[in-house]
Structure 1
Amino acid sequence: MKAIWNKACLAVVVSAAIGVSASAQAADDCPLPGNLRVVIGSTSTGGDTYQNSSIVVDRLADKLDINAKVDAVGVMPGFQALERSRHGNTVMIFHDGAYLGNLYGVNGYPDIFSKFIVGPTIAINPGNAYLVPKDSPYQSMSDIIEAAGDGKQVKVAIQPGSVSEIGFSALKNAVRMKYPGKEGNIVAVNTGSQADKNQLLFDGAVDVINGSVQANEQYTQLPADDQKAMRFVWITAREKTIAETDEAGMGDTTREQLLQYVTPNVSVPMSADRDFTFDKEFFFLYNKDMDPAAIECIDDALAEIYDEGEIQQQQKRSFFVPDFKPSQEAASYLKEKNDQYQTIISDLNG
């Protein structure tokens, strides 16, 4: 027993002497490369995908004692890089747009559930929103639904085939349910960046835009006579998701104020007994041939990181809601989410 104890002590002393940390020992047992490339489905280094990915990847690199870099390559280059990476040296972080693009039939978007391995979820951006000019006659989503039912066209600026469009589809579905045949009065004005959508609203070219709490809250603080003044009419996140954000909310808009724009205070019906909600969730994607042990290694490392509790505070300071689910649970959950929204899109296209 004494000899065993001495050997154990010697191992600790030797490890300390050569600077081997617990994370380094964990990395030795993990079949991930020393240099990990994390591609994201965005080309912006200032957007939510990059910001959220950087928070998680930095902590993952520290935990596993590896070099990991977030590479903002965009959607198609990201999918292509992932498809080529059979040895696990490249992984991807993206959000629900990864499967929504496929549901909307956007060219180049594969079925991620068959093409890749869906990894763990890491966070929610609760800020997906719809806004109108401050002087708009539409005070609520109910006003917009009623206007469409009365035969008035309502133009909505969106980025087609992604997170931006799913709320638009839900709005059309709500009109279709209440006023069959009138859903065509909800008209998409397809555009690109948030700046482009904002400009359409400033110019009076659209009635409503898809935006976000992070990008558009500043405009809601402007006086009503300012051409750029906006106000929220709908935040698609679940009530419990917004309730998990910091009490201070975002900018000069408190959490209590943000809760006024989610269901049940704002109703966009998805069925006779259920309102539509949508949380924009971020998750890992892996090559189909990635070593299961490497996937398990990332799951275990992230589980430890989230158990430690510090990352949650960092995410909340950036207006993200922590949302870790390990790979198997996440894949099942996101497939169910995919199937739910497929029904809405199919009903509208049918």
Structure 2
Amino acid sequence: MKKLISGVRVALCALCVAAPAYSFADDSPIQGNIRIVIGSSSTGGDTYQATSLIADALSEKLEANFKVDAVGVSAAYRALDRVRNGRTFMVFHDQSYLGNLYGQRGYDDIFEKYTVGQTFAINPGNAYLVSKDSPYQSMQDVIDAAGHGENIRVAIQPGGVSEIGYTAMKNAVRMQYPGQENNLQALNTGSQSSKNQAMFDGLADVINGSVQANEQYTRLPADDQKAMRFLWITAPAKTLEQANESGMGKTSRAQLLNYAEPNVNVAMSDQQNFSFDKEFFFIYNKQMDPKVVAAMDQALSEIFADGQVQEKMKQSFFIPNFRKAAESREHLMQKRDQYREIIDAIKQ
């Protein structure tokens, strides 16, 4: 009998050793190949970079294969519309609702048509620049010049992140110099290279750019045709302060903070200055199983609790910014309503 009991114990121990460790993927509704379409067609842009970072982390956590597909806005929404089984997600940023506020074709109300999911990163680099030989040394110089009748051309890509900062400038002129806001004029272009070229050719006085794309030009000597200066970074100081001390390129975090609120003031109202965080977040098909969103909440919670993805983001000049889906939706809707006020004020 003792030999029999001993044999059973050995057999049970062997089974214990052979049993695989528990994996998150065992019970996850997210398995296999997952396609993440993004609202950009560039594989070198910030949307692709931020999404790739989080996709790699999700692939490891869920033992699934997340693939980022840079298809552009229209194709991304069409892909999301077609697939309800949780095998296609979308990632985009604030342009997804700003485009709708500006009445841009192809931008539906994402909060009605889709399920808005988790935020995960901020690009703190959205910026406005002038050439180094520009007479405008500050944003207040630009506002004052427009207020005193000068026509100032601002190169933007209409309907999104580029335009919201331009709208804020125009609103600030309206507040300080009522009736003079139309002296600030939009020069509608496309890509960042197009906006840069507008400045090089003398067609634009101010351009929308980014720390990542334009920092290199700010280090050129003043007599170089491509030399630029930052005037304004729309992210508030509390966001930029989370970046690595080294900043971006050869421009330190301390230097970048000189161009952000509260050091640069663009009035949004009598009580508040304008600031803007460019946030990246997931969007899902409205008919998708809610268990998929819940699984993404859990997976991303564990990824951010681990801490490795935050370090990778900061190395690429992104600010970690995780919110679960429900909190994210509420936050982004409040943000949309806030920016709708200044967009509507300019339309009047």
TM range (shorter): over 0.9
SS in 2 for 1:261: coil
Residue identity matched to 2:112: S
CA displacement at 1:222 relative to structure 2: 0.3
Contact 1:33 1:88 in 2 (8 A): no
Residue 251 of structure 1 corresponds to 249
Contact 2:25 2:31 in 1 (8 A): no
In structure 1, which of residues 78, 99, 102 is the aligned counterpart of residue 100 of structure 2?
102
Contact 2:218 2:227 in 1 (8 A): yes
Residue 62 of structure 1 corresponds to 60
Residue 272 of structure 1 corresponds to 270
Larger Rg: 2
Residue 69 of structure 2 corresponds to 71
Residue 192 of structure 2 corresponds to 194
Residue 160 of structure 2 corresponds to 162
Contact 2:139 2:232 in 1 (8 A): yes
Change (3 A) 1:294 1:254: same
Residue identity matched to 1:304: E
CA displacement at 1:11 relative to structure 2: 6.4
Check if 1:30 corresponds to 2:34. no
**TM-score, normalisation: structure 1:** 0.95
CA displacement at 1:7 relative to structure 2: 10
SS in 2 for 1:338: helix
Mapping 1:86-235, distance limit 5 Å = 86-235=84-233
Change (3 A) 1:14 1:134: same
Change (3 A) 1:82 1:133: same
CA displacement at 1:9 relative to structure 2: 6.3
Change (3 A) 1:202 1:34: same
Contact 1:45 1:72 in 2 (8 A): yes
Residues of 1 paired with 2:17 and 2:296: CA distance?
28
Check if 1:13 corresponds to 2:13. no
Residue identity matched to 2:338: Q
Residues of 1 paired with 2:74 and 2:53: CA distance?
23
Q: What runs of 5+ residues in structure 2 fail to find an aligned partner? A: 1-8
Residues of 2 paired with 1:245 and 1:124: CA distance?
10
Change (3 A) 1:203 1:299: same
Identity of aligned residues (%): 59
SS in 1 for 2:19: helix
Q: What runs of 5+ residues in structure 1 fail to find an aligned partner? A: none
CA RMSD of aligned residues (A): 1.4
Residues of 2 paired with 1:325 and 1:74: CA distance?
25
Question: How many matched pairs?
Answer: 340
Residue 295 of structure 1 corresponds to 293
SS in 1 for 2:258: helix
Check if 1:262 corresponds to 2:260. yes
Residues of 1 paired with 2:266 and 2:244: CA distance?
25
Check if 1:342 corresponds to 2:335. no
Residues of 2 paired with 1:170 and 1:7: CA distance?
72
Residues of 2 paired with 1:103 and 1:36: CA distance?
30
Moved over 4 A (4+): 5-12
Residues of 1 paired with 2:10 and 2:120: CA distance?
42
In structure 2, which of residues 43, 49, 52 is the aligned counterpart of residue 51 of structure 1?
49
Change (3 A) 1:148 1:33: same
